[in-house]
């Protein structure tokens, strides 16, 4: 913020621009009008200065956020691209299943990404009056698409775990253990 002495200097500079001679030779009423016009102009300038400063701050923060967002999007997208097609086709191989074990890591990255994108949207909201009617930035849609794919991968991973550890599988394992025990008991008694 600038000092009152700076403001007074601005008024004097404006008065000089308007011509000290014209001002000194004009009637008092006109001098008052010129002074008011100078003060209004200075007030308008201050408003422009504040808005410009706010925009600069917002865009500086947005740049910082984007430098964090871009690599996260790229990393998540690359990981999804290696796993999602096989799952979508219903033909996941062993490597795909192993990669799915990293799903919690990418879900954590997605949570971080969503937080950063939310902060970016809030930071840019005042500067994006054109998009105010949609209330959504394009980056939000892209992140939402990635998030949906991660949710589908989570559902697939959960179903795989459920199938592998389902009650039926557990019951089969218990029966097999029981029959092995009976066989061992039989051999133990026979000997």
DSSP letters spanning 99-133? HHTTHHHHHHHHHHHHHHHHHHHHHHGGG-GGGGG
Q: Which two tokens stand for residue 74?
A: 């790229």
Q: Which residues of 145-177 are buried (b: 16+ CB within 10 A; e: fewer)?
A: ebbebbeebeebbeeeeeeeeeeeeeeeeeeee
Domains of the chain: 58-190 (1.20.58)
**Model confidence pLDDT, tens digit, residues 136-169:** 677 888 898 899 988 888 888 887 777 654 444 3
- Region at 13 (left for phi over 0; alpha for psi -120 to 50; beta for the rest): alpha
pLDDT of residue 14: 63
**Residue 188 pLDDT greater than 50, yes or no:** no
Q: Which residues of 104-134 are buried (b: 16+ CB within 10 A; e: fewer)?
A: eebbebbeebbebbebbbebbeeeeeeeeee
The number of residues in the chain equals: 191
**Model confidence pLDDT, tens digit, residues 13-48:** 766 666 565 656 777 787 778 778 878 888 898 898
What span, in angstroms and rounded, lies between the C-alpha atoms of 142 and 155?
A: 20
**Model confidence pLDDT, tens digit, residues 88-117:** 677 777 777 788 888 999 999 999 999 999
Q: What is the pTM of this model?
A: 0.62
């Amino acid at each position: 913020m600038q000092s009152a002495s700076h403001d007074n200097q601005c008024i004097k500079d404006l008065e000089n621009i308007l011509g000290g001679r014209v001002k000194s030779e004009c009637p008092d009423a006109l001098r008052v009008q010129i002074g008011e016009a100078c003060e209004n102009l200075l007030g308008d300038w201050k408003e422009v200065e504040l808005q410009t400063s706010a925009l600069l701050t917002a865009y500086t923060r947005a740049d910082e956020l984007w430098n964090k967002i871009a690599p996260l999007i790229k990393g998540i997208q690359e990981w999804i691209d290696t796993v999602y097609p096989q799952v979508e086709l219903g033909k996941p191989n062993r490597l795909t299943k192993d990669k799915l074990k990293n799903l919690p890591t990418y879900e954590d990255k997605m949570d971080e990404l969503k937080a950063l994108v939310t902060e970016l949207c809030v930071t840019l909201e005042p500067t994006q009056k054109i998009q105010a009617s949609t209330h959504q930035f394009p980056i939000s849609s892209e992140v939402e698409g990635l998030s949906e794919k991660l949710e589908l991968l989570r559902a697939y991973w959960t179903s795989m775990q459920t199938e592998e550890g389902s009650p039926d599988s557990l019951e089969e394992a218990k029966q097999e253990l029981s029959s092995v025990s009976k066989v061992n008991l039989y051999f133990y008694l026979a000997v």
